[in-house]
Amino acid sequence: MTDYYEVLGIDRSASDADIKKAYRKMSRRYHPDIAGPEFEDKFKEVNNAYEVLSNPERRRMYDAGVDPNDPSASAGASGFGMGDMGDIFSQFFSGSGPFAGGSSGPRPRRQSGRDALAHASIDLKTAVFGGTAHVTITTYGLCGDCAGMGTTNGERPTTCPDCHGSGYRQKVVRTLLGQMMTTAPCDRCEGYGTIIEHPCPACQGHGRVRTNRDVGITIPAGISDQTRLRLAGQGEVGEGGGTAGDLYVDITIAKDRRFTRDGDDLHCWVRIPMSWAVLGHGVDIDTFDGPRTIDVPAGCQPDDTVTLKGLGVTKIRQQSDRGDLIAHVSVEIPTRLDDHERRLIEDFAASHDTDDTGTPQTPQPASPNRKGFFSKLRDALS
């Protein structure tokens, strides 16, 4: 007998909420639209496990050693077995069946649809300001020919002549105590209590059809990578045109060639010539807000940063506020100089390394992790 608890990955003491949570997780993992058609059998196994464990009566029967999904469990002519004991238990203790005032009624044709999962990739600018993304999903949608009724020309299902609309029929089961009367879903109407005489040709009576659908997704400003968004009622339409499940969309933010993101801040790298770093200069850069000029101060050192306030990522919990844009300065040091240029650099270095009286300055200890600008220049030219 299949271990349905193991299929859903839960303990036998799991609550109804635990069972539902585990089912939603496993159904998304093994849904054929997401995992691929090779997982269809696994997906059916997950559904079978949920149908048993989510129903208190069927779960009690299963815990007693009877698999409700096993046709032999309720066979009346196969002799006494665990299936017979399960039927006996259900008659006397489940509150249903002929000895408890009748069955729980026919199974409704309209069933709630399952959730769906999709993936969408957005660019960094959309993450900064928000916007709209689109995904195409393949799932069950409402049948347009019958509007979910499952019948042709608007006909209504007729009452089943075998069970007279109850959805169940009584069966005689042989037990050690003799013959007992039990109930089982009607074979003719499959427990619905009604029969569709002329099914809709488009959906074969199911009220839904397989379809491709484009869904627009509103992306909130400041969204983070790997965020999952929920779109209520955009999932799979249920049997009989039932209420649609939800659509979950996993958002991935593509890498940007100019900027990287760190929380609510954006970072970029600006290359400037050596003379701009010495004398200071304005540098034009393109930002997500349009062209901006950053002021590189005189004496700027390699790896210094210049911050542009409020040009970063929109803060997700405070949409009126944004992070900063931080520009990292990279100084380009020339590697080939003619004799005249070399003499100018040497004269400049000699002047920079002495004070106003011409007395050499006391060298300052250098950081082990960072060289000064002229140290790097000398290294590059040596």
More confident residue, 280 or 93: 280
Q: What is the DSSP string of 50-94?
A: HHHHTSHHHHHHHHTT--TT-GGGG-SSS-SSHHHHHHHHHHHHS
Does the domain at 95-157+196-255 match CATH 2.60.260.20? Answer given as yes
Instruction: Give the right CATH number for 266-381 from 2.30.30.30, 3.40.50.11540, 2.60.260.20, 3.40.50.150.
Output: 2.60.260.20
What are the backbone angles phi and psi of residue 293, rounded to the nearest 5°? -115, 130
Burial class (CB in 10 A: 0-12, 13-18, 19+), 350: exposed
pLDDT in tens, 165-196: 999 888 777 777 777 778 888 989 989 999 99
Q: Report the C-alpha gap between 259 and 124 in whole angstroms.
A: 8
Q: Report the C-alpha gap between 202 and 208 in whole angstroms.
A: 9
> Is 300 annotated for ligand binding?
no
> Is 268 annotated for ligand binding?
no
Q: Which residue has 């309209």 as its token pair?
A: 110
Question: For the chain, what is the mean pLDDT?
Answer: 82
> Is 163 annotated for ligand binding?
yes
Annotated domain spans of the chain? 95-157+196-255, 266-381
Global pTM? 0.60
Query: How are the residues of the chain apportioned to helix, strand and coil, as percentages rounded to the nearest 5?
Result: 30, 30, 40
Let me know if the fold of 95-157+196-255 is the same as that of 266-381: yes
pLDDT in tens, 18-42: 898 898 888 878 877 677 777 888 8
